[in-house]
A and B are shown apart, each in its own frame.
Chain A
């Protein structure tokens, strides 16, 4: 089957750096995406990795290692507004764009 595992909760302080890990068990994912969700609202796209390595987008970076079936999202210079749930999502089909989501990690940023 296809599954993605993430820690359920992470806590960090404002201004710090936090890393949210995602390991997956599947064959056929052609990429790994990351989404942010505030208070059960619309998931919002953050980042995508198709190839191994690091992708940087402002304060957010995402990493993928296909050989290890592992990725992470790195958030730098944490702000209070970064408190949210973060989901990794495997891109399961290049024809349909279907995403398979992990369980999500709730990030709490403290002052």
Chain B
């Protein structure tokens, strides 16, 4: 069964360093997302991406964050200068046009980011 894959599964970095989290969405999906979840809290929307551009972003997604689809398969989240409060699990998700209208997103297993 097709699945969303994310790398790395866990990354430890020093405050102020740049981090790139990578995702391979399901191949025929057109809508891509990044969410984050601070330990023990709810899943928070960061950004949605469609047709090679950001379609919506949250207040969390400030100038330190960027997303890119550099080729036909990868979808990346970059944090330019990490802060302690960026420590969280970052989930990539994708969906098709049909499933997007039914609230069904397909999530990856997440990348745990720890900022020291």
Residues of chain A at interface, number, CB under 8 A:
29
B42/A87 in contact, CB under 8 A: yes
* Shortest Cβ gap from A8 to chain B (Å): 10
Chain B proximity mask over A67-111: 1 for CB below 8 Å, otherwise 0: 000000000000000000001010111111111111110000000
**Contact digits for B96-112, partner A, Cβ 8 Å, 1 yes 0 no:** 00001111111111100
Residues on the B chain within 8 Å of A40, using CB = 37, 39, 89, 110
Contacts of A104 in B (CB 8 A): 42-43
Determine whether the beta carbon of A43 is less than 8 Å from that of B107: yes
Chain B residues near A32 (CB, 8 Å)? Answer: 103
Q: Which of A1-45 contact B (CB under 8 A)?
A: 31-33, 35, 37, 40-45
Is residue B65 contacting chain A, with contact meaning CB distance below 8 A? no
Does A63 make an interface contact (CB < 8 A)?
no
A50 beta carbon closer than 8 Å to chain B: yes
Alpha-carbon separation in the docked complex, A37 to B91 (Å): 12
Q: Across the two chains, which residue of chain A brings its CB closest to B92?
A: A42
Q: A95-B55, A97-B31, A97-B95 are in contact. Are A41 and B102 (CB under 8 A)?
A: no
- Are B56 and A96 within 8 A (Cβ)? yes
Do A31 and B103 contact each other (CB < 8 Å), given the known contacts A42-B109, A97-B33, A103-B42?
yes
Mark A residues whose CB is within 8 Å of B.
31-33, 35, 37, 40-45, 48, 50, 87, 89, 91-104
